[in-house]
């Protein structure tokens, strides 16, 4: 109440005013626009479309189908006055854990806010000092400073900033991709990145990861897939365009999203194999390192491919604040690449927004610099952050497979204590601690980084649950939503390679009470022994 009074006195008490659009008030120009773009009157989120208005290619069409199932079709099961739970409170979200922002990034942002230079327009690439900080960070992380055969060395000309890693990725594609050129993604993948090449009239093809490779990229299969796609493109497009489309890039997520697989010193041969294949085939590696700083083994983090001089000029590296630094709301990303690529991205920035916001640039300089103080802060910050992530991973493992699967007695006791804290009914506590029968973590996918876990619903396939026959993922997600309003990212949303399986992607970084709420919904739908408890105290 006191806060409301203070805000009112300061004139900061905001009255939120809503409006709606009435076609009756439409002038001719707006009417023409609406007739040409009726989708903009749709109340639902849209997946987007290709610029040439053609259908998406099959890999993306599957993701599109899954998107509209989750974001539109399930609404038919809503009661009249049902208010959906915000996505940030569900296992479906892509938000990182609720954690304080990296101190030095906050400090650098405050510096610019208090400076006398805010009246100036910033530079296209980001301030030279900020890029200098970033280069010093890269050198401390293993990038080579000196020139060598086939390598120009690294400097500020190799760094360019962006408003987010998504923004950076889009500009990279817009720089290197021609119409019908192909970007190869892994299956599974991050569906919202997977669609980006096709929105600018490119094409996405999938390299399925395999259990026998422990869901790591197999360089030999990558080489074969590149050749296969290039041969297909040659047959289809020879003589029809003034060039023959080809595979131009492979998106290498290290750590992987959603699997959390890490390529570090333990499996460096895989990483180098990817680099060698792409060098030989004339294919860029887009090295997505956004989850790198939340590698659970902080002494052996994901290795940037471009830190090897041999691969630098064939690699475009992506860094950012969103996943690791408690600053997803800042939306700041960075690209490290050969000078011509950075020049191309700079042109895209200049023609679309003139220059980059200085606030994001300062945040990046505070997070990525080579000072001893930064590294002292990072050691303390990430040690505590990773501990929290690993605990939440154990907590969700308990909710899926039961407390007996947690071998650390200290962690097990803490999980039981938290369960008693948030769940007052003893019977419900026991049910949650015993996991959900037939639900499990997908074999070979236990994460080494990030905040997603791959959950296997396959044992429910072809079973009758509450009178519903579950034949596939669509049946499953419709049933779960009808029964308990539960929904999450499923296999078809992320190109899961085994189509006979029913797979979900759960975010284990949401707050513990919200995790519990989500799993109560799953128990309600899937566990016959579930006992409904009316009052769940948080």
Considering the chain, tell me which residue range(s) the CATH 3.40.640.10 domain(s) occupy.
Answer: 103-377
**Tens of pLDDT, residues 513-536:** 999 999 999 999 998 766 444 333
What contacts 224, CB < 8 A, 6 or more positions away?
A: none
**Tens of pLDDT, residues 63-93:** 999 999 999 999 999 998 888 889 999 999 9
pLDDT at 37: 87
Tell me how far the alpha carbon of residue 265 is from its chain's centroid. Answer: 24
What contacts 149, CB < 8 A, 6 or more positions away?
A: none
CA dihedral for 82, 513, 460, 86, sign (positive or negative):
positive
Percent composition of the chain: helix, strand, coil (DSSP 3-state, to 5): 50, 10, 40
Angle at 450 between CA 513 and CA 315, to 5 degrees: 155
pLDDT at 126: 77
Portion of the chain with pLDDT greater than 90, in percent: 81
Which is it for strands 489-490 and 468-470: parallel, antiparallel or unpaired? unpaired
Q: Which CATH number fits domain 64-98+386-526: 3.30.700, 2.40.50, 3.90.1150, 1.10.3470?
A: 3.90.1150
Considering the chain, tell me which residue range(s) the CATH 3.90.1150 domain(s) occupy.
Answer: 64-98+386-526
pLDDT at 326: 94
> How far from 352 is each of 161, 174, 364, 404, CA to CA, in Å?
14, 12, 21, 55
Label residue 296 left, alpha or beta by phi (over 0 means left) and psi (-120 to 50 means alpha): alpha
Q: CA 399, CA 389: separation in Å to the nearest integer? A: 15
Task: Say whether pLDDT at 159 is over 90.
Answer: yes
Encode 402-424 in three state secondary structure.
CHHHCCCHHHHHHHHHHHHHHCC
**Tens of pLDDT, residues 251-300:** 999 999 999 999 999 999 999 999 999 999 999 999 999 999 999 999 99
Phi/psi for 62 (5° steps) reads -65, -40
Q: CA 486, CA 480: separation in Å to the nearest integer? A: 5
pLDDT at 58: 94
**Tens of pLDDT, residues 378-433:** 999 999 999 999 999 999 999 999 999 999 999 999 999 999 999 999 999 999 99
103-377 belongs to which CATH class? Answer: alpha beta
């Amino acid at each position: 109440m006191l806060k409301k009074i203070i805000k009112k006195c300061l004139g900061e008490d905001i009255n939120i005013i809503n409006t709606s659009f009435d076609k009756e008030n439409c002038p001719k120009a707006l009417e023409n626009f609406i007739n040409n773009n009726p989708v903009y009157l749709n109340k639902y989120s849209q997946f987007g479309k290709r610029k040439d208005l053609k259908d998406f290619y099959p890999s993306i069409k599957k993701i599109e189908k899954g998107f509209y199932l989750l974001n539109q079709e399930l609404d038919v099961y809503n009661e009249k006055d049902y208010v959906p739970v915000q996505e940030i409170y569900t296992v479906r979200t892509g938000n990182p854990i609720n954690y304080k922002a990296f101190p030095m990034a906050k400090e650098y942002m405050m510096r610019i806010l208090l400076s006398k230079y805010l009246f100036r327009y910033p530079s296209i690439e980001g301030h030279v000092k900020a890029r200098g900080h970033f280069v010093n960070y890269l050198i401390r992380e293993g990038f080579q400073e000196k020139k060598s055969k086939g390598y120009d060395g690294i400097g500020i000309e190799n760094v360019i900033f962006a408003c987010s890693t998504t923004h950076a990725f889009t500009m990279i594609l817009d720089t290197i991709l021609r119409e019908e050129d192909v970007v190869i993604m892994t299956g599974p993948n991050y569906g919202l990145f997977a669609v980006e090449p096709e929105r600018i009239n490119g094409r996405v093809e999938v390299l399925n990861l395999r259990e026998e490779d422990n869901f790591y990229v197999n360089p030999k299969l990558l080489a074969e897939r590149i050749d296969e796609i290039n041969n297909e493109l040659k047959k289809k497009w020879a003589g029809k365009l003034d060039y023959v489309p080809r595979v131009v890039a492979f998106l290498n997520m290290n750590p992987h999203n959603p699997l959390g697989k890490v390529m570090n010193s333990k499996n460096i041969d895989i990483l180098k194999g990817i680099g060698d294949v792409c060098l030989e085939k004339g294919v860029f590696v887009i090295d997505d390192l956004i989850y790198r700083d939340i590698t659970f083994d902080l002494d052996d983090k994901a290795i940037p491919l471009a830190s090897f001089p041999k691969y630098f000029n064939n690699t475009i590296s992506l860094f950012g604040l969103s996943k690791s630094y408690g600053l997803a709301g800042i939306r700041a990303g960075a690209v490290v690449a050969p000078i011509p690529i950075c020049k191309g991205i700079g042109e895209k920035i200049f023609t679309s927004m003139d220059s980059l916001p200085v606030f994001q640039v300062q945040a990046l300089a505070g997070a990525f610099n080579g000072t001893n103080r930064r590294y002292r802060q990072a050691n303390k910050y990430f040690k505590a952050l990773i501990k929290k992530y690993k605990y939440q991973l154990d907590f969700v493992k308990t909710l899926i497979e039961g407390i007996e699967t947690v071998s650390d007695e200290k962690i097990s006791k803490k999980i039981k204590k938290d369960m008693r804290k948030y769940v007052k009914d003893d019977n419900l506590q026991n049910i949650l601690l015993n996991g959900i029968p037939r639900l499990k973590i997908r074999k070979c996918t236990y994460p080494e980084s990030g905040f997603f876990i791959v959950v296997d619903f396959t044992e429910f396939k072809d079973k009758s649950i509450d009178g519903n026959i579950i034949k596939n993922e669509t049946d499953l997600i419709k049933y779960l939503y009808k029964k308990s309003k539960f929904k999450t990212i499923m296999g078809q949303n992320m190109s899961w390679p085994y189509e006979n399986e029913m797979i979900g992607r759960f975010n284990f970084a949401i707050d513990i009470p919200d995790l519990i709420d989500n799993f109560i919904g799953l128990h309600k739908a899937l566990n016959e022994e579930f006992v409904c408890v009316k009052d769940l105290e948080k």
